[in-house]
Amino acid sequence: MAHLFGGGAVASRRESGGGSHRFSASAVAAAPPDLASPFGELGCGLSDPELRETAYEIFVSACRSTSSKPLTYIPQSERTDRSPSPSPSLTTSPSLQRSLTSTAASKMKKALGLKPSKKSPGKEGSPSKAPKRPATIGELMRVQMRVSEQTDSRIRRGLLRIAAGQLGKRVESMVLPLELLQQFKASDFLDPQEYEAWRNRNLKVLEAGLLVYPHIPLDRGDASQRLRQVLRGASERPLETGKNSESMQVLRSAIMSLACRSFDGSADICHWADGNPLNLHLYQRLLEACFVSGEEGSIIEEIDEVTELIKKTWIILGINQMLHNLCFLWVLFHRFVTTGQVDTDLLFAADNQLIEVAKDAKATKDPAYVKILSPTLSSIMGWAEKRLLAYHDTFNPSNIDSMQSIVSLGVSAAKILVEDISQEYRRKRREEVDVARTRIETYIRSSLRTAFAQRMEKVDLSRRSSRSQTIAPILSILATDIDDLASKEKEVFSPILKKWHPLAAGVAVATLHACYGNELKQFISGVMELTPDSVQVLKAADKLEKKLVLIAVEDSVDSDDGGKAIIREMPPYEADSAIANLVKSWIKTRVDRLKEWVDRNLQQESWNPKANKENFAPSAVEVLRMIDETLDAFFQLPIPTHPALLPELLIGLDRSLQHYVLKAKAGCGNRNTYVPALPPLTRCEIGSKLWKKKDKSQNVPKKKSQVGTTNGNDLFGVPQLCVRMNTIHHIRIELENLEKKIITCLRNVESAHADISNGLDINFELTLAACQEGIQQLCESTAYKVIFHDLSHVLWDGLYYGEIASSRIEPLLRELEPMLEMISTTVHDRVRSRVITAMMKASFDGFLLVILAGGPSRAFSRQDSQKLEEDFMFLRELYLADGDGLPRELVEKASAQVKNVLPLFRADTEGLVERFKHIILETYGAAAKSRFPLPPTSGQWNPNEASTILHVLCHRNDDTASKFLKKTYNLPKKL
């Protein structure tokens, strides 16, 4: 029914008229949008000035009715009644008339933790233009509630008139607006509009208190319907007020029927202003008088006296101590917020007042009280949390003092809501829920996430707007900002929050660690190669992480678990690992590129001995240059872990060089490539006709070369093989230089000395082994190629073929000597002995192969043994070279096998046969007596081996040997 009455604006315009005191327009600001009243909005059209004037009427009447003579006339000689209609003088009760003199320190301020004010309204010594200081508590209250002297006079006059007709009746037993309506007519007001506004206000109060917010819920009785009809009629035509008007009698009857209802049947108290939330709004206006008008939230010095008088309204408004505590909390808090949030004393007082409310909440479970308590605390908590969930935006050096009180308000309100109101909490064990710690943790995480996002956006925007091409990467700058943020958190905010959460700083840095970690993870996932920017970011991340972990550890020294829970929240960024992975990727790229280069250049390599004076391949020079450049690039990488990652690089370079060496010797063959297979055993033919060389059909087929010819352009010719040997030897020598270079570079790297002294393995073991094996293989391959391939025409097709006297060793020596000379002048000095030694062994093997497995066209008599010994001596002398060749000890050692076999050629045939039979019987046992098994040929000629003796018998030029071979093994004379 709020729409039935207007006039609020008129009342607002008129309420200060005629007064001598000026009021600040900002004394009580409207509630900000984020601070809605917890009591709910009144839906009856009563404006703030109208509520304040009604509250003042209740206050004055309650104070008068509690004196020794309720509502009685008291003479006043010092005051002039300004009302248009004469009236006897009157005054307030003794309590209102109490003088404003210097009083002792306020007990209430002390309880709220406040210091006495230096000034109070109108205090002596204030500027001359300041309003006149009120002389009494009643006058102070009027000024504080912004009631004009004219309005105050009319209220007191009305109360005197009421007292004249109802002597001794207490105010709580009457409906005050109804009584006032009966005392005044339009003629009592200077302005008809002012009267209309006054009348409509009282009617709206009656409507609100009896119909909209009744103390006892309404039924559908006649009284409520009759009152609605009367009020509706008053909206259509002005209600005639006055004690004897008929309309007032009807109104009184309807009002009293509703007001006198009670839960216990008592009619001593009229219920017209004690319905919720009307009573709370009225009481809030009274409590707001406790603040200095026109100043930012200061509490008046006389708060004890004023509060004592305000409490006299409790019986009319249905207020008790618990509701008073709750309303006073809200008024303190509301005043702080609406006056610019600058008076931190008010915030501190509200925090202390909340302690009393918490006690009340634990002491009672009254659902009506809880219904008011819950939205009040929710509003306070909501306001506080809106600021605490982003406290980095809310607080700065100018207002940091208020943070502790705001945190306390938010946490305390949350604790009451959860512990004393929440049914769910009661079903849990209290130790399972730490409300304060949970809320603080929520504030910390929320605020730091917000602060992180803001800094991220700021850094990104700054980077995009910068024209510099050398600006640091965004995450590197961000790491510095987060470092500063963490320091500020530790120094400024954590000391405050630690009161409620012992690990406040730890939670903060764990949150920052996670925020930055998420960005870093995305960054790392997008980095494909090692760049200065990527390394800079990862180094900045590593530095930041160390700072955050240090703060967390320091913050948790005294915690129960030593901070393990917080540290578990901070999984390592593993920046070192990320750098290592990038370096490994960089290494792999370089090594793969090097391997491709090796393959491509080796395909083009001609192994030309004339390419340079050192007689090694140019491709080797390039490979070594690339490896050298790779090492330089590696040690120039801006990373702190060169020693740790060096082994991986060395493995890659080692394998690349090994690959080159293996490719360099690939296809060159080995000893077995050139040594021909042994022909099947045959008996040599006896008779002069068989010594003629014309019968070439008897020849052992020459084994074809697997690697080409002796042409100078042949990649596998002897000169080219010498270049390959030189190249591999050159790489072998350069390995030592590379190792020295690496050690030098490591000594220039910070913290690498320890790694060197601790035995950091710096070698190219794969390449070294490949070089040693490669040189050995090439030496043997070259030697056996020369003897068994290049000189096969004088060795296999010429030496002792047919007539012995005409096919001795001189032709072989004539062609072998210049070959040795060419090799000696081509290969490196440190390789020469090895390759000449291999040549010697190959020629000795060739000599043995000819005399022991030369086929049926080679036949030796016992007398030929001297020629064989002489020829072998000539061959040995070739390598001794009159003291300028190989060492005699080396030649003698290599000659031992041939020297051991040659005596078999001097032995008589019968002796050889008996010796052969004896060895067979020893080897195979009694089973060999009936049939001699054919002994296998190992190729390792030995005078004590059956196969060697058998080969000598096969080449023995006499009948005894031939008959033995025919009878024992049925060996043919031809292949």
For every residue of 513-571, DSSP letters joined together read: HHHHHHHHHHHHHH--S--HHHHHHHHHHHHHHHHHHHHHHHHTTTSTTTTHHHHHTS-
The Cα 530–Cα 584 span in angstroms is 9
DSSP letter for each residue of 860-916: B-GGGHHHHHHHHHHHHHHHHGGGTSS-HHHHHHHHHHHHHHTHHHHS-HHHHHHHH
Tell me the mean pLDDT in the region 301-308.
Answer: 92
Tell me the mean pLDDT in the region 144-171.
Answer: 88
The Cα 924–Cα 941 span in angstroms is 20
Q: Tell me the pLDDT tens digit for each residue of 274-289.
A: 999 999 999 999 999 9
- pLDDT at position 115: 74
Res. 448 pLDDT band, cuts 50 70 90? very high
Helices (H), 149-277: 149-165, 176-183, 192-207, 222-236, 246-259
Q: Residue for token digits 């009785």?
A: 221
For the beta carbon of residue 190, count every other beta carbon within 10 angstroms: 15
Q: Tell me the pLDDT tens digit for each residue of 516-527.
A: 999 999 888 888
Mean pLDDT of the chain: 83
Tokens, residue 627: 């490896």
- pLDDT at position 750: 58
For the beta carbon of residue 575, count every other beta carbon within 10 angstroms: 21
Q: Tell me the pLDDT tens digit for each residue of 844-902.
A: 999 999 999 988 889 999 999 999 999 999 999 999 988 889 999 999 999 999 999 99
Tell me the mean pLDDT in the region 440-469.
Answer: 86
* Structural domains of the chain, with CATH: 2-14+49-100+133-319 (no CATH), 339-574 (no CATH), 577-669+707-774 (1.10.357.50), 792-969 (1.20.58)
- What Rg, from alpha-carbon coordinates, does the chain have? 59
Tell me the mean pLDDT in the region 680-697.
Answer: 59
* C-beta separation of 405 from 347 below 8 A: yes
Residue 283: which residues within 8 A CB-CB, separation 6 or more? 55, 310, 313, 317, 319, 323, 324, 327
Report the candidate in 112, 19, 137 with the shortest Cα–Cα distance to residue 335: 112
* Residue 766 host element (H or E): helix 765-785
Res. 342 pLDDT band, cuts 50 70 90? confident
pLDDT above 70 (res 397):
yes
Query: Among 15-24, 235-244, 652-661, 824-833, which stretch is predicted with the lowest mean pLDDT?
Result: 15-24
Inter-residue long-range contacts of 908-912, CB under 8 Å, 24+ positions, other chains counted: 908/862, 909/953, 909/956, 909/958, 909/960, 909/961, 909/964, 910/960, 912/949, 912/952, 912/953, 912/956, 912/961
Ramachandran assignment for 121, one of left (phi > 0), alpha (psi -120 to 50 degrees), beta (any other): beta
- pLDDT at position 229: 87
Report the candidate in 303, 318, 305 with the shortest Cα–Cα distance to residue 93: 305
* C-beta separation of 555 from 504 below 8 A: yes
pLDDT above 90 (res 746):
no
Query: Among 258-262, 438-442, 484-488, 649-653, which stretch is predicted with the lowest mean pLDDT?
Result: 258-262
- pLDDT at position 297: 58
- CA distances (Å), origin 66, targets 158, 172, 285, 312: 17, 10, 21, 8
Tell me the mean pLDDT in the region 348-355.
Answer: 94
Q: Tell me the pLDDT tens digit for each residue of 617-639.
A: 999 999 999 999 999 998 888 77
* C-beta separation of 313 from 354 below 8 A: no
Report the candidate in 677, 676, 679, 694 with the shortest Cα–Cα distance to residue 954: 679
* C-beta separation of 895 from 844 below 8 A: yes
* C-beta separation of 48 from 145 below 8 A: no
pLDDT above 50 (res 710):
no
Tell me the mean pLDDT in the region 231-254.
Answer: 79
- pLDDT at position 428: 56
User: Side chain identity at 761, as an amino acid letter?
Assistant: D
Query: Among 111-125, 243-257, 831-845, 899-913, which stretch is predicted with the lowest mean pLDDT?
Result: 111-125
| Residue of 819 and 707 predicted with greater confidence | 819
Helix, strand or coil, per DSSP, at residue 99? strand
The Cα 59–Cα 176 span in angstroms is 11
pTM above 0.95, yes or no: no
Q: Tell me the pLDDT tens digit for each residue of 193-223.
A: 999 999 999 999 999 999 999 998 988 777 7
- pLDDT at position 427: 54
The 10 Å CB-count burial string (b at 16+, else e) for 845-876 is bbbbbbbbbbbbbbbbeeebbebbeebbeebb
- pLDDT at position 95: 59
Dihedral of the alpha carbons of 205, 306, 140, 149, in degrees to the nearest 10:
20
Helix, strand or coil, per DSSP, at residue 956? strand
- pLDDT at position 186: 87
| Residue of 18 and 542 predicted with greater confidence | 542
- pLDDT at position 471: 59
Q: Give the whole-number percent of the chain exceeding pLDDT 90.
A: 51
- pLDDT at position 509: 95
